[in-house]
């Protein structure tokens, strides 16, 4: 099977989506929903592809950098400013999370001020669809729907209300379930052991606590249940709803606690007054034998509590509010009348005494829950966003810079060099030459190329290559943390010196794989191997090994930004390079060493990456000084005349002109693009293109090294012209540089 080629005419800018919603750490169910949807989307379209306009309630919050603006819900001017910010940004689509109470004005009408002047496609998710709205609610709802390009509801009942009660066209409505964590079913005993509840039968109610929750109904039902089954423990997990607490304090919770004492069931009730994270909630939900939703309001059309319980495969007992009637139909749960403690006691007792029935309910719930995983839900949202953006583009052509000048991405030759063992280093006139071994160097570089390519285009056909290269590096890793480089055709590692460069390149490849979107297993293995290699960083003394390692750690941090160990490792590497520069640089030779050899631009690239993560000005100024020196030395007469490997270039000596290395063109391309983004100097963008076009014939001899029909890249440029051999290193360096330019044109230039 041949891998597809991506033509410049076919590629699309990666979507940028702005959420208008409450945002964590504000304690709000919709904030949690939005965070989960945002994270799930970024697993598909990449880190940094979502941002937030956060809705505030006259309180301040320590928001993450993804929050680009904050709206005070009662300040109409904030809505206008938010519209201007979105319109002037490179956001492609807006995801509005609608709940009447989030927005100021009568029935939340202020949000219409935002929507009425918005010039971007809007997808509105309705968390509440009222069967009997007031006139004001009806007006606000209809206006929001009218200004939205697509509407999302979470069940069929809500969709029916939209068409029958609000007269909204059916083709504007999308049914997408409330997302739930993608988890396998695990028996409650596992979590009970963790929580020291292994002797208890656990009944759980969770979420924000308010009088509408009906918890007193379950408490009143509990004495007759406990009389037969003293092992029962009813857990009430969650804080008082912030709006309720603001108006009435902890009055409702205190009434519940008094009721527990009055009924004499203190040993059978546990209140956990905490706004827990997903992991903690998952533990308590996993430990539950039965989930109880004794709510009072029959009109509730969406419930995150119910959705999460279905997703974890729980036996559910609920009052028949709208969402529960639909979701628990057909044997997926048990319904009990509103305000019926006796009926609740009877239902709970039956499930305690009938494990077969309980397991049947849990199984049916889990089947539905599997259709609600965040990975599936986010793909459905993404399809809606993409369709809207595509329609918008037909009306307004998307600015894509010089993407039309780039050759198609052809990975066929990379595949030809790869067999079941790994990737072959060299070829004889394009035919794999097995006498020159496989190498970890090339497997690592190929991982960078494939991971970056997949993260851009989500082409799953490339992932089988990732599997092969990951298997090779995993096998090449030694117990001491270093990596064998060369393996012969007999799949043996001959005796060889340890290479710092190989170690650095392997970390580069592992870091790239660790940030593979969609949380694939390759990414988890890459993460594990990279983290295990951190202790060896301080053994590195060679500049390129430090730079390659920095590339890997930087890539890792884009996906796992909170890792202190990796942050410390990256800072150590960048500081080491900065120290080397200060020790060796002079006004006439502003460089890290007294020589220039291969892949030179990776050194300033590492400092630029340090600046991106730590905002240390010295990293940026030093990187640009070194990069400018490298450019001035090699950019002559409108093209890059790269330093050759037939003698390299030592300070005070004559520089070698041949054989020029493809590695250098690729690293210059990437580093100039990064300098463009961080320094805001457009001269580096032109130089990035000039460096890449070295492959295409913009070089000393005017000869192209790349063959677009086959995907081959010559090993170097000698006096006689491009090398007749086309190996892995040169071909991979071309792919990395090309994908970097696509990434800039389709993503980078829009930031």
In angstroms, the CA 304 to CA 179 distance is 8
Residues 447, 347 share a domain: no
Give residue-wise pLDDT tens across range 51-99.
999 999 989 999 998 999 999 999 999 999 999 999 988 899 999 999 9
**Pick from 371, 388, 423: which residue ends a domain?**
371
**pLDDT tens digit sequence for 614-629:** 999 999 999 999 999 9
The per-residue pLDDT for 75 is: 95
- Of 229, 196, 206, 219, the C-alpha closest to 265 is 219
Evaluate whether residue 570 is within a structural domain.
yes
Indicate if the pLDDT at residue 229 is higher than 90.
yes
Residue 722, beta-bridge partner list:
717
Residues 362 and 260 in one domain: yes
pLDDT tens column, 450-467: 999 998 888 888 999 999
Write the CATH number for 408: 1.50.10.10
Q: Answer with the residue of higher pLDDT: 359 or 398.
A: 359
- Does 328 have pLDDT greater than 80? yes
What average pLDDT score do residues 180-189 get?
A: 85
The yes-or-no verdict on residue 300 having pLDDT over 90 is: no
- The reported pLDDT for the residue numbered 175 is 96
Question: What pLDDT, in 10s, does the model give residues 659-669?
Answer: 999 999 999 99
pTM of the shown model:
0.69
Residue 388 lies in a domain: no
Partners of residue 561 on adjacent β-strands: none
Query: Residues 437, 495: one domain?
Result: yes
Q: Inform me whether the pLDDT recorded for 472 exceeds 70.
A: yes
For the segment 117-139, the average pLDDT, to the nearest whole number, is 93
Per residue in 348-372, pLDDT (tens digit) is: 999 999 999 999 999 999 888 888 9
Residues 196 and 147 in one domain: no
Domain presence at residue 634: yes
> CA–CA distance from 391 to each of 377, 398, 405, 434, 471 (Å)?
22, 11, 25, 51, 42
Residue 731 has pLDDT above 80, yes or no: yes
Residues 456 and 334 in one domain: no
- The reported pLDDT for the residue numbered 576 is 98
pLDDT given for residue 2 in this prediction: 45
Q: What is the DSSP letter of 654?
A: P
Question: Same domain, yes or no, for 144 and 197?
Answer: no
Q: Do 357 and 445 belong together in one domain?
A: no
Q: Does residue 393 form part of some domain?
A: no
Nearest to 546 by CA among 589, 586, 575: 575
Contact indicator for 304, 29 with CB cutoff of 8 Å: yes
pLDDT surpasses 90 at 176: yes
Listed as own residue / partner, the contacts of 426-435 with beta carbons closer than 8 Å and 24 or more positions apart are 426/715, 426/725, 426/727, 426/728, 427/725, 427/726, 427/727, 428/725, 429/724, 429/725, 430/710, 430/712, 430/725, 430/726, 434/489, 435/489
> Is it the case that residue 6 has pLDDT exceeding 80?
no
Q: Burial of 622 by CB count in 10 Å (0-12 exposed, 13-18 middle, 19+ buried)?
A: buried
Q: State how many domains the chain has.
A: 3
Task: Please indicate, yes or no, whether residues 224 and 159 belong to a single structural domain of this protein.
Answer: no
The domain boundary residue, chosen from 129, 151, 175: 175
Res. 486: pLDDT tops 80: yes
User: Is residue 221 domain-shared with residue 167, that is, in the same domain?
Assistant: no
Residues 6+ apart with CB under 8 A from 383: none
What are the φ/ψ torsions at residue 258 (nearest 5 degrees)? Answer: -65, -40
Its sign, for the CA torsion 192, 193, 194, 196, is: positive
pLDDT at 398: 46
Is residue 357 domain-shared with residue 240, that is, in the same domain?
A: yes
Residue 7 in any domain: the answer is no
Instruction: Express each pLDDT in 565-623 by its tens digit.
Output: 999 999 999 999 999 999 999 999 999 999 999 999 999 999 999 999 999 999 999 99
Query: Which of 314-323, 510-519, 543-552, 729-738 shows the lowest mean pLDDT across its residues?
Result: 510-519
Q: How far is CA 402 from CA 278, 397, 736, 741, 743, in A?
A: 43, 14, 18, 9, 12
pLDDT in tens, 399-448: 556 777 788 899 999 999 999 999 988 777 767 777 778 999 999 999 99
Average pLDDT value for the chain: 92
- Is residue 380 in a domain? no
Could you tell me what percent of the chain has a pLDDT over 90?
A: 77
Domain check: are 163 and 215 in the same one? no
In this structure, are 66 and 168 located in the same domain?
Answer: yes
Q: Is residue 377 included in any domain, yes or no?
A: no
Q: Return the CATH number at 143.
A: 3.40.50.2000
The SS3 assignment for 410 reads coil
* The token pair that represents 211 in the structure block: 């009088």
**Domain span at 101:** 17-175
Cβ contacts of 190 within 8 Å, gap of 6 or more: 286
- 712-719 average pLDDT score: 94
686, part of any domain: yes
Question: Phi first, then psi: what are they for 557, rounded to 5°?
Answer: -70, -20
């Amino acid at each position: 099977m041949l891998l597809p080629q991506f033509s410049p005419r076919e590629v699309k800018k990666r979507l940028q989506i702005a959420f208008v919603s409450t945002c964590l750490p504000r304690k709000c169910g919709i904030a949690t929903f939005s965070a989960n949807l945002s994270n799930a989307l970024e697993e598909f379209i990449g880190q940094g592809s979502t941002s937030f306009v956060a809705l505030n309630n006259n309180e301040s919050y320590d928001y993450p950098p993804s929050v680009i603006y904050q709206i005070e819900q009662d300040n109409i001017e904030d809505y206008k400013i938010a519209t201007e910010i979105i319109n002037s940004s490179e956001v492609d689509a807006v995801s509005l999370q609608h709940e009447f109470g989030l927005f100021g004005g009568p029935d939340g009408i202020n949000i219409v001020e935002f929507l009425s002047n918005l010039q971007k496609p809007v997808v509105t998710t309705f968390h509440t669809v009222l069967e009997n709205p007031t006139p004001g609610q009806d007006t606000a709802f209809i206006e929001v729907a009218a200004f939205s390009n697509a509407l999302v509801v979470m069940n069929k009942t809500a969709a029916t209300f939209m068409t029958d009660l609000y007269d909204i066209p059916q083709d504007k409505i999308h049914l997408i379930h409330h997302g739930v964590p993608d988890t396998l079913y695990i028996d409650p005993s596992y979590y009970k052991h963790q929580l020291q509840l292994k002797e208890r039968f656990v009944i759980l109610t969770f979420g924000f606590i308010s009088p509408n929750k009906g918890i007193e109904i379950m408490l009143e039902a509990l004495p007759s249940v406990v009389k037969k089954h003293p092992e029962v423990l009813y857990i009430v997990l969650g804080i008082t709803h912030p709006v309720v607490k603001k108006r009435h304090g902890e009055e409702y919770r205190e009434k519940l606690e008094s009721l527990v004492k009055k009924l004499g069931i203190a040993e059978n009730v546990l209140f956990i007054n905490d706004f827990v994270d997903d992991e903690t909630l998952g533990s308590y939900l996993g430990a539950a034998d039965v989930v109880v939703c004794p709510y009072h309001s029959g009109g509730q059309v969406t419930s995150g509590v119910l959705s999460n319980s279905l997703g974890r495969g729980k036996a559910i007992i609920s009052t028949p509010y709208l969402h529960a009637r639909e979701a628990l139909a057909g044997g997926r749960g048990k319904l009990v009348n509103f305000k019926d403690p006796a009926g609740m006691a009877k239902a709970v007792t039956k499930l305690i005494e009938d494990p077969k029935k309980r397991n049947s309910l849990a199984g049916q719930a889990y089947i539905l829950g599997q259709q609600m995983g965040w990975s599936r839900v986010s793909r459905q949202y993404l399809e809606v966003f993409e369709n809207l953006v595509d329609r918008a583009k037909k009306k307004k052509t998307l600015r894509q810079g010089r993407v039309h000048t780039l050759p198609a991405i052809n990975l066929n030759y990379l595949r030809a060099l790869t067999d079941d063992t790994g990737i072959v280093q060299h070829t004889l006139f394009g035919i794999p030459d097995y006498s020159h071994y496989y190498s970890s160097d090339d497997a690592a570089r190929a991982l960078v190329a494939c991971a970056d390519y997949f993260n851009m285009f989500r082409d799953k056909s490339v992932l089988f290559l990732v599997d092969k290269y990951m298997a090779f590096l995993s096998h090449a890793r030694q117990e001491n943390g270093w990596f064998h480089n060369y393996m012969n055709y007999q799949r043996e590692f001959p005796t060889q010196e340890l290479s710092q460069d190989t170690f650095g390149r392997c970390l580069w490849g592992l870091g790239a794989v660790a940030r593979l979107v969609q949380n694939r297993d390759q990414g988890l293995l890459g993460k594990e191997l990279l983290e295990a290699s951190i202790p060896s960083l301080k053994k590195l003394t060679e500049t390129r090994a430090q730079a390659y390692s920095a590339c890997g750690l930087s890539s890792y941090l884009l996906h796992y930004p909170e890792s202190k160990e990796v942050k410390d490792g990256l800072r150590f590497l960048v500081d080491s390079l900065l120290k080397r520069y200060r020790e060796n640089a002079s006004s006439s030779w502003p460089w890290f060493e007294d020589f220039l050899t291969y892949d030179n631009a990776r050194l300033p690239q590492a400092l630029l990456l340090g600046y991106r993560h730590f905002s240390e000005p010295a990293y940026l100024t030093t990187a640009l000084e070194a990069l400018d020196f490298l450019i001035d030395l090699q950019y002559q007469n409108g093209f890059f005349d790269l330093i050759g490997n037939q003698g390299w270039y030592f300070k005070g000596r004559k520089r070698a002109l041949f054989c020029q290395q493809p590695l250098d063109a690729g690293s210059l391309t990437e580093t100039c693009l990064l300098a463009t983004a961080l320094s805001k100097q457009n001269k580096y963008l032109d130089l990035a293109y000039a460096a890449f076009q070295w492959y295409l014939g913009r070089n000393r001899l005017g000869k192209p090294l790349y063959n677009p029909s086959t995907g081959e890249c010559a090993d170097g440029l000698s006096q006689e012209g491009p090398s007749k051999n086309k190996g892995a290193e040169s071909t991979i360096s071309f792919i990395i540089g090309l994908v970097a330019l696509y990434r800039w044109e389709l993503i980078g230039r829009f930031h």
